Structure 1
Amino acid sequence: MVVPSHPSLAADKVTLRREAREQRRTFIESLGRDDRGALELKLADALKPLIAQSRVIGGYCPLPSEISPLPAMEAAAHSGSVVAYPAFADHQSNFRFLAGDPTESGPWACFQPPLDAPEVFPDLVLVPLVAIDRHGTRLGQGKGHYDRVLGKLREHGALLIGVGWSVQKLDEEIPADHWDVTLDGFASPDGLEMYR
């Protein structure tokens, strides 16, 4: 990962990330299990039009505070689409999307397909995030995993859609570094908004 050339940009992102995580945590704590499941089904409904246009969908296994794209991924698989998940060979490698169910624990303790599963380039990538602004600038976890692969995925024609809870959409702009790839849209239980 390249070190930011402007120290205040990095500081602004650290502050925004901390505030966005706190807002997300507070929102999640306010939900009951049934409420959360219902909202994740609404996310799947919001994604239906994009899934219907896609042959290969890249998703992710959510962290506890992230919205789950798994109902959308299940719907995609039932409609005949290939589903794929990020897979890391080790802590130093970039992830690749591998087709199949996430059945093995990877080096970052997230489930992923077996490393011998076929590599695919999704038409649609569901991108996790901490926050997103109205221009599609994404704030991730801060490790740069997606920053290092989103550009390549777009070169292969992928539509990049951030997914999250509606509270993760910020009114203020997120400072962008030169390696940030603007997302094409944002999907939440409240619906789908396209930026590009």
Structure 2
Amino acid sequence: MVIQILNLKKSWNYVAGISHTFNKAFRGEISFFYHDIKDWITRDIPTFEGRFENKGKISIAGFELSSQYTPFKNFFLEVNYTYSYAKDKSPGRITDKVKNIPKHKVDITMNYVVPRLGIKTTLVGLYMGKVWGQLPTSSAPYLPAVEVGDYFIVNVKLSKEFKKHLEFYLGAENLFDRNYQQELDFPGPGRNLYAGMIYKF
């Protein structure tokens, strides 16, 4: 058995942004970021046999757009978009590309409370752009560059409170049972149905 000893990832993070409330219903925000990371931890090959290793240095630059919309009391919509550009700056690197960091990512959240019934409906959508799932490394320079496809999944949850102490809920993750990979050869979970209750003292 081989015990791997890895260095802790170290990073300098810079963020600047501005937000504005346009009216009572709509608010927007934009922020720019830059991450300077040393000892980035990744696999040398994208399989269960792959060893984790420290990359010398990578950078991630980009921006995030965020908006919140509340046209009436029982409705809330939030949309976030993130653009990321990652670059490997390690000495002796084979490629400038970085694995598992999407250029494009979109998060959508919608909450709606059904009048009179008091049933809260939550819809969450996640779009994840293409990522590099496999890249040549210094220990395996023969590996071809392989992309993992983009995907969009939807989660839904219904909940109902009774007298502020008891809540019942049911939901579904990956509602449409999409086939996707979060990383190369690591498939994401299929449709998952769940239900439960919460009692608050």
TM-score interval for Structure 1 and Structure 2 normalised by the shorter chain: under 0.3
TM-score after normalising by structure 1: 0.25
Q: Which has the larger radius of gyration?
A: 2
TM-score (norm 2): 0.25
Report which structure shows greater RCO (CA 8 Å, sep ≥6).
1
Hey, which of these two has a bigger chunk of strand by percent?
Answer: 2
